Amino acid sequence: MIKFIKLNFLIFCCSLLFSSQTNAEFDIKARTAILQDYLSGEILYEKNPDQSIYPASMTKIMTTIVAFDLLERGELKLDEKFIISENAWRLSASGYSSMFIMVDDEVSVENLLKGIIIASGNDACVALAEGIAGTEEEFAIMMTSKAIELGMENTNFANSSGINHVDNNSTVRDIMIMSNYLIKTHPDYYKYFKEKEFTWYRTGGDPIKQGNRNPLLYKNLGADGIKTGYLAVEKYSLASSIMKNKRRLIAVGSGFETKNSRSRESAKLLTWGMTNFNLIEIAKADTPIAQVDVWLGNKPFVDVYINENIYKTVPKSRKKLLKATLTYNGPVQAPIKKDDIIGKLKITYKDEFINEYDLLAFTNVKRLNIFSRLMKSLNYLIWGDV
């Protein structure tokens, strides 16, 4: 007999006090932008998301990702020191945003990373790139290779800092993919991005304190990253993320006319996403979500689970239109092995099919001995009781 179980959803975001707006009515003053609900992966807003841009200092997100990957694999250490070349130092003396490192100084990987993330130092980017790959050109090849690995289909990196180069290009969609990877894969290192200031205790000079250039960190939004950018040809850009009530949004915009516009419109986009949508947890990976009947087993039920997190984002007030149903042919006959496919989890929205997932047994269930099976079968024949 095919059986059905309907799941009740848990809404992770609180009710907010703003009026709803439809996507069609909403717009921000940027040339290109995108907004993603991190846990569900769903795109809540997009405006020319695949238009080519010069990513400017948002390039530095990938510079740090390459380093973080090496740190995770044990091929690089935070306390490892690189000798600063004249090539790297020149960027600190050319009017670019800088950490202000000195030629022949020895600087730790951790300080270079903070100089890149917090102070947006172009000199620190070159020093890190040369220390890892020998030359910035070789490091840029590593960056582009990582972009291809992540599915960033419209991105090419020509340098580590994002300063003017005709072949350093991307899209806001690709920057979003990169930012998502950073947060998901390197949560411990991602914490650097929310630090509001960095003091560089340089050799042979007074300490230099610089504030984080991300304007959203100084607003009451729950922002914890990510990276600003500016080029005269591209205007202002920002990859940003906020975390509220266990829910994260990632926004990327480029082509803001002014610094103030970048801050205001990015905050507007993130607030709109939090205000107008609910994030719903349907299943948590490796956690039982229901019990199904067992026939001729040493247990009457077996817990079932999904082996991945499943979240869905829906417009507010439309939670009832999202449905999750467990279907299985039961009772399921023992013996049952852990991870046996028991049935399916089917998700629909507005009665339209969205996706289907395997329903797995959470534990082993042994078959009853022959005497117990016989008694249970007799009870069933007489009483119809399984």
Tell whether 20 is covered by a domain: no
Contacts of 29 (CB under 8 A, 6+ apart): 256, 257, 261, 265
Shared domain check, 318 and 209 = no
Shared domain check, 125 and 89 = yes
Q: Is residue 250 within 8 Å of residue 180, measured between CB atoms?
A: yes
Shared domain check, 302 and 259 = no
Size (the chain), residues:
386
The encoded tokens of residue 85 equal 């070349």
Average pLDDT over every residue of 292-309 = 92
Shared domain check, 207 and 132 = yes
Integer angstrom CA distances of residue 6 from 9, 224, 230, 251, 332: 10, 37, 50, 34, 18
CA distance 171 to 174: 5
**Which residue is listed with tokens 């990957």?**
69
Q: Where among 227, 259, 276 does a domain terminate?
A: 276
Q: Would you please indicate which residues are annotated as catalytic (active-site) residues?
A: 57, 60, 120
* Identity of residue 88: A
Shared domain check, 296 and 260 = no
Q: Of 96, 93, 132, 95, whose CA–CA distance to 112 is shortest?
A: 132
Confidence of residue 386 (pLDDT cuts 50, 70, 90): very low
Shared domain check, 288 and 155 = no
Tell whether 238 is covered by a domain: yes
Tell whether 5 is covered by a domain: no
Shared domain check, 318 and 185 = no
CA distance 130 to 82: 8
Read off the DSSP letter of residue 369: P
Tell whether 21 is covered by a domain: no
CA distance 200 to 354: 51
Read off the DSSP letter of residue 260: H
Tell whether 194 is covered by a domain: yes
Torsion of CA 102, 105, 106, 111, to 10 degrees: -20
Shared domain check, 258 and 115 = yes
Phi, psi of 99 (to 5 degrees): -90, -20
Q: Of 144, 151, 142, 157, whose CA–CA distance to 174 is shortest?
A: 151
Shared domain check, 293 and 222 = no
Structural domain span for residue 360: 284-383
pLDDT in tens, 97-143: 999 999 999 999 999 999 999 999 999 999 999 999 999 999 999 99
pLDDT in tens, 23-75: 558 999 999 999 999 999 999 999 999 999 999 999 999 999 999 999 999 99
Share of the chain above pLDDT 90, in %: 81
Average pLDDT over every residue of 82-90 = 95
Give the CATH number, domain containing residue 347. 2.60.410.10
pLDDT in tens, 207-233: 999 999 999 999 999 999 999 999 999
Shared domain check, 293 and 272 = no
CA distance 247 to 44: 14
Tell whether 249 is covered by a domain: yes
Tell whether 217 is covered by a domain: yes
Q: Where among 233, 253, 276 does a domain terminate?
A: 276
Indicate the helix (H) or strand (E) that contains 115: helix 109-117
Shared domain check, 226 and 304 = no
Q: How many CA atoms lie within 13 A of 33 on its CB side?
A: 26
Confidence of residue 377 (pLDDT cuts 50, 70, 90): low
Q: Is residue 18 within 8 Å of residue 317, measured between CB atoms?
A: no
Q: What is the pLDDT of residue 351?
A: 87
CA distance 115 to 99: 5
Q: Where among 248, 276, 304 does a domain terminate?
A: 276
Give the CATH number, domain containing residue 124. 3.40.710.10
CA distance 279 to 25: 21
Tell whether 11 is covered by a domain: no
The encoded tokens of residue 2 equal 């095919």
State how many domains the chain has: 2
Contacts of 265 (CB under 8 A, 6+ apart): 28, 29, 30, 253, 256
Shared domain check, 267 and 121 = yes
CA distance 143 to 63: 7
Share of the chain above pLDDT 70, in %: 89
Q: Of 254, 289, 290, 284, whose CA–CA distance to 269 is shortest?
A: 254
User: How remote is the C-alpha of 138 from its chain's centroid?
Assistant: 27
Q: Is residue 242 within 8 Å of residue 274, measured between CB atoms?
A: yes
